[in-house]
Structure formats: C-alpha cells, structure tokens
Amino acid sequence: MNGRRVVITGLGAVTPSGIGVPELWNAVVHGRSAITQLEGPGFDGLAVRIGGQVRGFDVSTVLDRSLAKRLSPVQHWAIAAADEALAQAGVDAAATGGGAGAAAAAGGGSGAVGALPWDAERVAVIAATGSGPIDAMQSATRVLDERGPRAVPLTLSIHGAPDSAAALLSQRYGIRGPAQGVSATCASGAVGLGDGLRRIRHGYADAVLVVGMEDCLNGVNLSSNANMRALAAGYEGAPETASRPFDRSRSGFVMSQGAAAILIESEEHALARGADVLAVLAGFGSASDAHHPTAPHPEGRGAAQAVRECLADAGVGPEAVDHINAHGTGTPAGDAAELLALEAALGEHARRTPISATKSSTGHLLGAGGVVEAIISVMSLRQRLLPPTLNLDDPEFDGWDFVAGNARSAAVSRVLSTSFGFGGHNGAVLIERP
C-alpha cells in the first residue's frame, strides 16, 4: 500500500430492506428477508415474479416535483442515498437543484445550500451501475414504436445514460472534480469503490462520493435472466425462502432494486474537519476470468486473483481477514467457484473465517450490490455483529464456517467483501476498523 490512508465517513441506502442505513442494517442483522411477490404493472405472465422492491420511498423528501418527473426512480434512490451519506458525514451540501436535500434526508430542516468542506475541484463522483436508468430507454423505445420519432423524449439523451447520476450529483452538490460512471456488471459497486480509493490514495482527490444504483425489475430483464436459468424460480408461494446461498437446494439468484452511497476521503482531511471516521477502506483488487460470458471460472481463478490483489493492496496477509461478506448469490456454479477462490487466495485460513451471504436477505442488487455489502461490512465492524445467512438449511459445502440462522457477536477488525459478475468481472474490497 502506498499513498494516503482512505477512510469512510458517510453511508446512505435506499433498498428493499428499508429506506436508510439503519433500516437496512436492522433488517439484515435480524434476518428479515426483503424478497416478496412483485407488485405493479408488467409482471403478469412472467416465469419469475419475485424480487426485492423498494417500498415506502417518498421522492418529495428529496426532489422537487418537476425534476423528479424527468428522472427515473433509480436516480431518485441514488440521490437520496447520496444525501444520507453526506448528511452522516457532516457535510452541509444540500441540493442546488431544489428539494429537501441532505438535511431532510437526515430528518432535519430545509437543507439550505452549503459549502463543501474540501476544494470542490478535488472531489469526485462515481456512479456504479450495471445498466443505469434502463427503464428510460425501454420507455422511449415503446414511444418510438407506438407514436413515432417526434414523441421520443429529449430527456433520454440527458438523463438516460448509465453515468447520468454522476452528473446529477455533481450539479446537486457543486462538485467540480471528475464525475463518471463505472460499469462491471455485478462487480460495479466494488470497482467504483476501488477507483475512488486509488484516486484519493494517489493524490488526485481529497474525497469521492461512490453511489451504486440498479433497477432491473422489469419484464425484459427478468425474462432474459429467467430464460438463462440464472434466477431462482418456483418460490411464488414463499418468496422469502428463494435466495439460498451455499444451500444444497439453491437454484439461482433473486433480483432486487435500489441504491447505496459511501463517502470516502483522505484521513488527513477527515480528521482536520472533525469528521467521525466510520471505517478504513484499506484495499481493493480486481481481475477478469477471461473464461465465459456468464459462467464463472470453475476454479474461481479471477476471483482468487482479485482477493489476493486486495490483500496485497492493503499490505496484509490472509490471517488478517476476520470475516467475509461473500458475493453468495445462490447460483449453483457461482457459490461453488467462490469458495474455491477463497480457498485459493486465503489458504487454510479461508475455512476458519466466518462467512455471511447477505443477499439471502436483501436479494441481489446487481451493480449496486458491492456498495450495499460494503455498508453492511462497515456496520458489522461498528456493531460487532456478523449478519446471518438466511435459508441455509442444508449446506452443500462441509468444513466452512457459515454464519447461519442468527447473527453472531464478534469483535472483528477486518471484513473482506467480494463481488463477482457475468462476463468474468471480479472485485474485492477490504474494510478495517478505524
């Protein structure tokens, strides 16, 4: 590890498990599943009709009506999560574009515009997503087919790209450093955190706002994944039991929607402004399987490389890892390959390390998953609790220390969070107690 130490000072989340980080953590640590029967138009007749839907979100607490109408729900959630993260970090940088802003997201007042506590040109925004506001493109395509080219909304060109949330957030907070999108399928969130870590560590920024966001709960994406036999099917009568990482009866992942945000900054700047340091973002590694469009490498080659690089980046050995928040989606091939990868990277220590697979509770938020699970990892360190893996009734893999059924008390110092995706994308981050 070279360069400046990077710390986490703010967290935010809008997920099926709840609105805000406290609700997310409460649901996960108490073993409450967010997976339900899907409600709303467009789900009738689909092969899979379960998932994790964001419920109870009030966009009026974040945006004024005119801007909210021009944006997709996934962008609403991303903005709300970012507001929460900044508010927790003590940053009075409320919306320049109207709305209740960060103060209201934290339960406070009107959110008047304030100054960033860093040079605005040395703050970056990274929007991590697999697909971005895909509903905007699908809607515009229907309009083109039904009403012709003159009816296609011009806002598609402005707000329809995967990186558009980064631009929206930079405008909202007056951030003048780089604003960009990062896309690496289900590893997008971890890769976004890694890019931010390196940007700060090597002196290109003093702070980075990383937001993971995804909303693929629509007929097209659900059908495509179902046709590929990647989704758990046949659980409409008991959707809360569908996500079953590492269980012998697992049959696929369960798709969820939502957004999450993490504010990272250099330790020197955080301490100088009196910020509460929640955790240290100590290391990052990434690699490609170079193997198959969807299947992981059968021996977890790329995943193991990402974990090894992550530990080397943090300057620690395998024994330093006290807990693993696994990618653990519940696909037969993916779970098996992940354990092989952990064993290859951590050696004998892998089987001694407690493993939680929190997608069993939240579902799989795809490109946002890495940020959501990094938040859960921070909370595990701070609350000294390892969240349970739900539905692990009959583990297929012997000799591993899965945290199953109930949360476990443990004063851990370092959590490894892994994220692997279609196309062979692999990412891993190491998070430490401050």
Residues 392 and 273 in one domain: no
Q: What is the pLDDT of residues 285-299, one digit of tens each?
A: 999 999 998 888 998
The residue segments making up the domain with residue 298 are 283-432
Per-residue pLDDT at 379 exceeds 90: yes
pLDDT reported for residue 150: 94
pLDDT reported for residue 94: 60
What is the spatial distance between Cα 336 and Cα 245, in angstroms, rounded to a whole number? 10
Per-residue pLDDT at 103 exceeds 80: no
In a domain, 332, yes or no: yes
Mean local confidence (pLDDT), 345-355 = 98
The answer to whether 125 and 170 are in contact (CB under 8 A) is yes
In a domain, 68, yes or no: yes
Task: Report residue 112's pLDDT band, with 50, 70 and 90 as the boundaries.
Answer: very low
Per-residue pLDDT at 114 exceeds 70: no
Residues 294 and 362 in one domain: yes
Residues 235 and 381 in one domain: no
Mean local confidence (pLDDT), 152-161 = 89
Residues 379 and 264 in one domain: no
Residues 252 and 372 in one domain: no
Mean local confidence (pLDDT), 106-126 = 69
Q: How many domains does the chain have?
A: 2
pLDDT reported for residue 247: 97
The answer to whether 296 and 306 are in contact (CB under 8 A) is no
Percent of the chain with pLDDT over 90: 87
Rounded to the nearest angstrom, the gap between the alpha carbon of residue 110 and the centroid of all alpha carbons in its chain is 28
Which among 222, 228, 224 has a CA at the least distance from the CA of 256?
222
Mean local confidence (pLDDT), 350-369 = 98
Rounded to the nearest angstrom, the gap between the alpha carbon of residue 360 and the centroid of all alpha carbons in its chain is 14
Domain endpoint, select from 260, 279, 298: 279
Q: What is the pLDDT of residues 124-151, one digit of tens each?
A: 999 999 999 998 889 989 999 999 999 9
Residues 200 and 292 in one domain: no
Domain endpoint, select from 227, 261, 279: 279
CB atoms within 10 A of CB 217: 23
Report the CATH number at residue 329: 3.40.47.10
7 Rama sector, left if φ>0, alpha if ψ -120 to 50, beta otherwise:
beta
What is the spatial distance between Cα 402 and Cα 392, in angstroms, rounded to a whole number? 9
Mean local confidence (pLDDT), 182-189 = 96
pLDDT reported for residue 95: 43
What is the spatial distance between Cα 314 and Cα 432, in angstroms, rounded to a whole number? 10
Residues 73 and 192 in one domain: yes
What is the spatial distance between Cα 173 and Cα 111, in angstroms, rounded to a whole number? 12
In a domain, 383, yes or no: yes
Residues 234 and 304 in one domain: no
pLDDT reported for residue 100: 40
Q: What angle do CA 301, 305, 309 make, to 5 degrees?
A: 175
Rounded to two decimals, the pTM is 0.94
In a domain, 207, yes or no: yes
Task: Report residue 2's pLDDT band, with 50, 70 and 90 as the boundaries.
Answer: low
What is the spatial distance between Cα 58 and Cα 378, in angstroms, rounded to a whole number? 26
Residue 203's contacts (CB-CB under 8 Å, 6 or more residues apart) are: 3, 4
Please provide the average confidence, as pLDDT, over all residues in the chain: 93
Q: Return the structure tokens found at 108.
A: 């406070």
In a domain, 359, yes or no: yes
What is the spatial distance between Cα 81 and Cα 371, in angstroms, rounded to a whole number? 11
pLDDT reported for residue 98: 37
Residues 274 and 319 in one domain: no
| Burial class (CB within 10 angstroms; exposed 0-12, middle 13-18, buried 19+) of 213 | buried
pLDDT reported for residue 194: 98
> What positions carry a catalytic annotation?
186, 327, 364
In a domain, 209, yes or no: yes
Residue scoring higher pLDDT (422 or 305): 305
| Burial class (CB within 10 angstroms; exposed 0-12, middle 13-18, buried 19+) of 409 | exposed
Residue scoring higher pLDDT (92 or 151): 151
As a whole number of Å, the CA-based R_g of the chain is 20
Domain endpoint, select from 241, 264, 279: 279
Residues 102 and 143 in one domain: yes
Tokens 């910020």 correspond to what residue? 275
What is the spatial distance between Cα 211 and Cα 216, in angstroms, rounded to a whole number? 17
Least confident of 93-97, 257-261, 279-283, 403-407: 93-97
Per-residue pLDDT at 108 exceeds 70: no
pLDDT reported for residue 136: 87
What is the spatial distance between Cα 172 and Cα 85, in angstroms, rounded to a whole number? 14
In a domain, 1, yes or no: no
Residues 254 and 377 in one domain: no
Q: Return the structure tokens found at 79.
A: 């903005």
Residues 133 and 219 in one domain: yes
In a domain, 69, yes or no: yes
Question: Three-class SS string for the chain?
Answer: CCCCCEEEEEEEEEECCEECHHHHHHHHHCCCCCCEECCCCCCCCCCCCEEECCCCCCHHHCCCHHHHHHCCHHHHHHHHHHHHHHHHCCCCCCCCCCCCHHHHHCCCCCCCCCCCCCCHHHEEEEEECCCCCHHHHHHHHHHHHHHCHHHCCCHHHHHCCCCHHHHHHHHHHCCCCCEEEECECECHHHHHHHHHHHHHHCCCCCEEEEEEEECCCCHHHHHHHHHCCCECCCCCCCHHHCCCCCECCCCCECEECEEEEEEEEEHHHHHHCCCCCCEEEEEEEEEECCCCCCCCCCCCHHHHHHHHHHHHHHCCCHHHCCEEECCCCCCHHHHHHHHHHHHHHHCCHHHHCCEECCHHHHCECHHHHHHHHHHHHHHHHHHCEECCECCCCCECCCCCCECECCCEECCCCEEEEEEEEHHHEEEEEEEECC
pLDDT reported for residue 295: 87
